Amino acid sequence: MIASLTLPAPAKLNRMLHIVGRREDGYHSLQTLFQIIDLCDHITFTPRHDGEIHLTSEVSGVDHDDNLIVRAARLLQQYSGSHLGITLDVEKRLPMGGGLGGGSSNAATVLVGLNHIWQLGLSLNALAELGLQLGADVPVFVHGHTAWAEGVGEQLTPVTLDAPWFVIIHPGISVSTPSVFQDPQLTRDSRPITMARALQGGAPEWRNDCEAVVKKRYPPIAEALDWLGQYAPSRLTGTGACLFAAFQTQQAAQAIAHLSAKRWPTWVAHGLNTSPLHDDLGYFTKALGR
């Protein structure tokens, strides 16, 4: 058995997000383009033979047993019947609850990483189905490809998007996802479009249906969106609080990030079409027979 292995857990941006309905269970049906980006947490896996699962790092505001990292490992152990254990350590870089999907991505990296380390031989489809119990954004990270998504985000079609450089701003406040989805003024009846239409229109036509409600409820987010919008079209990811704009070059993004960093925590990240997790584990090269 390997001594230890460190794997990335990348963030995502919702390049567009339309809300096309509300299901009976209260969840909303979405149409979204998830793009994986190269901003990552890192999780270190150290196998153990005693069947125990431990997370050694503190994640502020999240109890050990509630952490999606621990919950994902326990879920997989239970599902697979494996008697092996794991010590996990996470180096967090992604802001929590910011719409970048960090918690979901952490869970996905644990599922995919443990499948490899415990040699379970489960398919990505099986892991994604399991991951959906932990969060709606887990499946896209398990599959590891930028994707068009429907349902609550679990019906995925891999797509290839442009790969710009993003300026990502955290306006310093946190957004309550349930309160956005419960707001009576939320647009929840956008006309469904086809994936082809969404891709054809491209960035100029993309929007996020949560934006109006979020701007109304959280003026600092409206302010940051307006500020970034002076330089390039700016948009919310998920229900926020993070927002982003795309630039053609790293240099252009860095110039704006330099200005933004004077007011808000800011990152520059590159758009990707495949997850660095899957790149590291050789998924896509294996599939292509290279």
Ligand X SMILES: Nc1ncnc2c1ncn2[C@@H]1O[C@H](COP(=O)(O)OP(=O)(O)OP(=O)(O)O)[C@@H](O)[C@H]1O
Spatial separation of the C-alpha atoms in residues 53 and 55, rounded to whole Å: 7
Whichever of 127 and 180 has its CB closer to ligand X, that residue is 180
The answer to the question of residue 206 lying near ligand CDM (CB under 6 A) is no
Residues belonging to the binding site are 95-105
Query: How far lies 167's CA from each of 11, 60, 148, 202, in Å?
Result: 13, 25, 22, 18
Spatial separation of the C-alpha atoms in residues 216 and 246, rounded to whole Å: 24
Q: DSSP character for 27?
A: P
Using the contact rule CB under 6 A, the part of the chain among 22-30, 46-54, 189-197, 244-252 near ligand CDM is 22-30
With tokens 């050789």, the residue in question is 282
Whichever of 35 and 46 has its CB closer to ligand CDM, that residue is 35
Alpha helices in 176-249 (DSSP H): 177-182, 195-201, 211-217, 219-229
CB atoms within 10 A of CB 178: 9
Instruction: Report which secondary-structure segment, H or E, holds 262.
Output: none
The answer to the question of residue 233 lying near ligand X (CB under 6 A) is no
Using the contact rule CB under 6 A, the part of the chain among 50-58, 79-87, 173-181, 261-269 near ligand CDM is 173-181
The answer to the question of residue 137 lying near ligand X (CB under 6 A) is yes
> Has 12 been annotated as catalytic?
yes
Binding mask 189-228 for ligand X (x = CB under 6 A): ----------------------------------------
Applying CB under 6 A, the site for ligand X has a residue count of 18
Smallest separation, CB 121 to ligand CDM (Å): 28
Spatial separation of the C-alpha atoms in residues 256 and 62, rounded to whole Å: 33
> Has 279 been annotated as catalytic?
no
Report the interface residues with ligand CDM, using CB under 6 A.
14, 26-28, 30, 32, 99, 104, 135-137, 152-153, 177-178, 181, 238-239
Q: Which residue numbers are catalytic?
A: 12, 137
